[in-house]
Amino acid sequence: MPDRAMTNVPVPTRIAGLVLMGGEARRMGGGDKALLLLHGRPILGHALDRLRPQAFALALSANGDPARLGAFGLPVLPDAAGSPGGPLSGVVAGLTWAAAQGASHLLTVPGDAPFPPRDLGARLWAAGGGGPACAASPDGPEPLHALWPLDRRAELDRLIAEGVSSPRRALAALGAAHAPYPSRDGFRDADTPDDLAALRGA
């Protein structure tokens, strides 16, 4: 189902985009899930195609050797020392990078979900009025598809210091709005071999 653009919703031009690379494809031979091939291209390439028009700058959140991602020509942001690990650490690194770019917001998507909605940034902005927001499918919140205002960074740092370690919990504590989507098509990922086969058959 094609995404419906929300052209009547004003969205700030200072949204930076971050792809959260996530874990390894242990059930599919190892390596980054985002680098698995889908229709002849890495999943990450498809995700970037969807994210690029929605952000003025892009980066990848990934640990390990950044050379493996060199073909994409984007900054690779490792987790900061002492961070809790997991996707929320990637968000924190992304917020630091986005601030240096002069961004007002950070739009995040997971690297193993090839087709994030083309109107994701617009819908999240509309849902939260510029505040924290995440997508919601019929399966519930999709906390890796989220909009993070940089002016809430201090609150996020406090939450992490208090033991919050997941984007879902952090967004809930920040009072994030939900942007509803009628299906999960834009959020399907390659978490298992069956998931990847389903994406290849789409």
pLDDT at residue 23, rounded to an integer: 58
Q: In whole angstroms, how far apart are CA 31 and each of 27, 36, 53, 83, 164?
A: 10, 8, 28, 23, 28
Domain region containing 44? 15-201
- Phi, psi (deg, nearest 5) at residue 109: -140, 155
| Strand boundaries in 30-187, DSSP class E | 37-38, 41-42, 57-61, 76-77, 105-110, 133-137, 140-149, 177-180
Q: How many helices, marked H, and strands, marked E, lie in the chain?
A: 6, 9
Interior angle at CA 182, CA 177 and CA 188, nearest 5: 90
Q: Is residue 8 part of a domain?
A: no
* Digit-coded pLDDT (tens) for 8-34: 556 667 999 999 997 554 444 557 889
Instruction: Identify the weakest region by mean pLDDT among 5-9, 30-34, 87-91, 146-150.
Output: 5-9
Span 145-157, average pLDDT: 97
Q: Is residue 35 part of a domain?
A: yes
| Average pLDDT across the chain, whole number | 89
Q: Is residue 5 part of a domain?
A: no
Decide if 135 contacts 145 (C-beta within 8 A): yes
Q: At what angle do helices 87-101 and 153-161 cross, to 10 degrees?
A: 150
Q: What is the CATH number of the domain that holds 81?
A: 3.90.550.10
Instruction: Identify the weakest region by mean pLDDT among 54-58, 67-71, 104-108, 194-198.
Output: 194-198
Binding-site residue set for Mg(2+): 112
Q: Is residue 29 part of a domain?
A: yes
Q: Is residue 2 part of a domain?
A: no
- Which amino acid appears at position 83 of this protein? S
Q: Any bridge partners for residue 147, and if so which?
A: 107, 133
Q: Is residue 21 part of a domain?
A: yes
Span 89-99, average pLDDT: 97
Q: Any bridge partners for residue 137, and if so which?
A: 140
Q: Is residue 117 part of a domain?
A: yes
Count of Cβ atoms closer than 10 Å to residue 123 Cβ: 24
Binding-site residue set for GTP: 20-22, 33, 79, 112
Q: Is residue 74 part of a domain?
A: yes
Q: What is the number of structural domains in the chain?
A: 1
Q: What is the pTM of this model?
A: 0.90
Show Cβ contacts of residue 7 under 8 Å, excluding neighbours closer than 6 positions.
none
Binding-site residue set: 20-22, 33, 79, 112
